[in-house]
Chain A
Amino acid sequence: SQQGEEDPQALSIQEGENATMNCSYKTSINNLQWYRQNSGRGLVHLILIRSNEREKHSGRLRVTLDTSKKSSSLLITASRAADTASYFCATDVRSGGGADGLTFGKGTHLIIQP
């Protein structure tokens, strides 16, 4: 079953603008991660935010987490053509200490227009 759901499904903006993607999830989590996937390539980890954190920055990336709303957002500032990719949020699930795989949303396809 789908744990994370990103929105929008697709986003097209001009180079230099900011891009915001949102993710909602259903069950309690230990933390949440964002990944990027370029066409035809594997996934690349962007950032991990723990359940007790509210905001995290990494370069041009800013991630927020609201556990009360079970939602997260990824902001990419000053977008570049190379940011064109699909972006996925991924969550683990609190499972009493068991180690599970990540559950991914269906992703937001971001297109940066030059």
Chain B
Amino acid sequence: GAGVSQSPSNKVTEKGKDVELRCDPISGHTALYWYRQSLGQGLEFLIYFQGNSAPDKSGLPSDRFSAERTGGSVSTLTIQRTQQEDSAVYLCASSLGGGAGYNEQFFGPGTRLTVL
């Protein structure tokens, strides 16, 4: 497939457990973004990668959240000790270049996370 893919599509976990979400961007896209969409907060920017480095981590809601990207491709978003307020749809996007405003972002279908 040519689009951004994310896995799993749905994840149900118990409070306190760790979860790992995966994003596979479009081949050749150097920029990768994670967002979170929840009913109360709308769409929130979490983190941005240019290649393997993350120059902007300002959106991560707490130190329980971390993300990495290896080989300039796949990225994982890890949430440790999940809380109920972490329940949301986590969206990944990629674009040809960096600079959020200059490039169209292509979004994946998202991972719906439910923390019980």
Contact A101 B35 (CB under 8 A): yes
Q: How many residues of A contact B (CB 8 A)?
A: 27
**B81-94 CB contact bits vs A (8 Å, 1 = yes)?**
00000000001010
**CB nearest to B56 among chain A residues:** A100
Contact B104 A45 (CB under 8 A): yes
Contact A92 B99 (CB under 8 A): yes
Which range contains the number of B residues in contact with the other chain? 20 to 34
Contact A100 B45 (CB under 8 A): yes
Contact A42 B108 (CB under 8 A): yes
Let me know if A69 is at the binding interface, CB within 8 A: no
Let me know if A33 is at the binding interface, CB within 8 A: yes
Contact B106 A101 (CB under 8 A): no
Contact A2 B42 (CB under 8 A): yes
* Docked pose: A29 CA to B47 CA in angstroms: 19
Contact A31 B55 (CB under 8 A): no
Instruction: Select B100's contact among A43, A44, A92, beta carbons within 8 Å.
Output: A92
Contact B109 A102 (CB under 8 A): no
* Docked pose: A31 CA to B100 CA in angstroms: 9
Nearest chain B CB to A99's CB is how many angstroms away? 4
Instruction: Select B98's contact among A32, A99, A103, beta carbons within 8 Å.
Output: A99
**A89-104 CB contact bits vs B (8 Å, 1 = yes)?**
0111000001111111
**A8-38 CB contact bits vs B (8 Å, 1 = yes)?**
0000000000000000000001111101000
Nearest chain B CB to A48's CB is how many angstroms away? 6
Note all chain A residues with C-beta closer than 8 A to B98. 99
With A29-B101, A42-B91, A91-B101 in contact, is A101–B46 under 8 Å at CB? yes
**CB nearest to B33 among chain A residues:** A101
Contact A33 B43 (CB under 8 A): no
Nearest chain B CB to A10's CB is how many angstroms away? 14
With A2-B42, A99-B56 in contact, is A42–B100 under 8 Å at CB? no
With A29-B101, A101-B33 in contact, is A88–B43 under 8 Å at CB? yes
Residues of B within 8 A of A (CB): 4, 31, 33, 35, 42-43, 45-48, 50, 55-56, 58-59, 91, 93, 98-102, 104-110
Residues of A within 8 A of B (CB): 2, 29-33, 35, 41-45, 48, 88, 90-92, 98-107
